[in-house]
Amino acid sequence: MSLATLDWNEPFIEPVSDPTGGVATSVEAARPTATDDDHLLDAYSNAVMGAVDRVGRSVVHIEAKYGGGRRGERPRGGTGSGFVFTSSGYILTNSHVVHEADRLDVTLADGNRLRADLIGDDPETDLAVIRVLGEPITPAALGDSSKVRVGQVAIAIGHPYGFQSTVTAGVVSALGRSLRAASGRLIDDVLQTDAALNPGNSGGPLVDSRGLVIGVNTAVILPAQGLCFAIAVNTAKFVAGRLIRDGRVRRGRLGVAVQTVPLPGPPGDRAGASKRGGVLIMSVEPGGAAERAGLEEGDVIIGLDGHAVGGIDDLHRLLTDDRVGVKIPLRVLRRPEILAFTITPEESKPSAQE
């Protein structure tokens, strides 16, 4: 019987080869039976749909407008996604979606359009908080990114171009990644996922199968396949709290221009030498924290507050807001000696290196 004449309503008898060369008794091939749609949906599909049902109403579309204040100047615009995380209308999104915008408009999941106010943004972590007022919005529930495991389901939800809740799903493919922000600082504890990020999905939530937000979608590596990144929600909680409280995230600076340099190891230790590094002071800011502490051009910073410093990223990581205005120990290589200093970091300005 050819495929063209096969009656799909009749049982299909498939011959089974006999090891002796004959044909053994035929068996009837299994066929799926028609059932209700609910029974055809597997656990994975149900998990994704359940998560979208819980979080989708909290996801918003954000439209940012720039310029247009002068006569004849046409405003520029950008779009992205975000999600409400408090019942009072605070919304988390990416800094690059709203940074320096003159006007922000938010479209809710129900289609309503509201004006939004910028509460604060932090380019160092590519996170921002905006706020809308006027009607109650169901907030998304925040999870705990420290409990995320490689291989667990990850669902990226966005609201690009005003289309309601576009969804992609995959798994968390790696933890503890680092991502370079536009400012040059390194963002730590980034989640890597293969849940595709569509254009306009930046700032939307990455959620687990229970509908808990585990990250804020931020970037995709365009030349690669399946490499997308999200800022861990624990980082987002800290940054959002500071932005709501202060409008900014305070970080420390030493008042120096620096670059990472390799340090030689003991004689014969070629393998270890390539792993050692420090931060060379190229110049010292007059009147800054470093000058007051006695640091000089040519010094190499190798330790801060009891932690090893192998490069600029280590220095950035250690200069947190809790060290601003606090005297902390500093170890410096001033050849041929290693010297100990006490330094009081100052609050970083947006244009400062550290």
Q: What is the set of active-site residues?
A: 96, 126, 202
Please compute, for residue 305, the number of CA atoms within 13 A of its CA located in the half-sphere on the CB side.
18
What DSSP string describes 196-214? ---TT-TT-EEE-TTS-EE
User: CA 60, CA 108: separation in Å to the nearest integer?
Assistant: 5
**Which residues, including other chains, have CB under 8 Å from residue 245's CB and lie 6 or more apart?**
none
Beta-carbon contacts of 267 under 8 Å, excluding residues fewer than 6 positions away, are none
Select from 199, 244, 205 the least CA-distant residue to 83: 205
Specify the 3-state DSSP secondary structure of 77.
strand
Would you say 208 and 143 are in contact if contact means Cβ atoms under 8 Å apart? yes
- Angle at the Cα of 249 (from 247 to 250), degrees rounded to 5? 120
> Quick one: residue 339, left, alpha or beta (phi over 0 = left, psi -120 to 50 = alpha)?
beta
Helix residue spans in 188-337 (DSSP H): 233-246, 270-273, 289-293, 312-318
Q: Is the dihedral of CA 213, 214, 215, 221 positive or negative?
A: negative
For CA atoms 215, 199, 109, 166, give the dihedral sign. Answer: negative
Grouping H, G, I as helix, E, B as strand and the rest as coil, residue 44 is helix
Q: CA nearest 83: which of 217, 192, 229?
A: 217
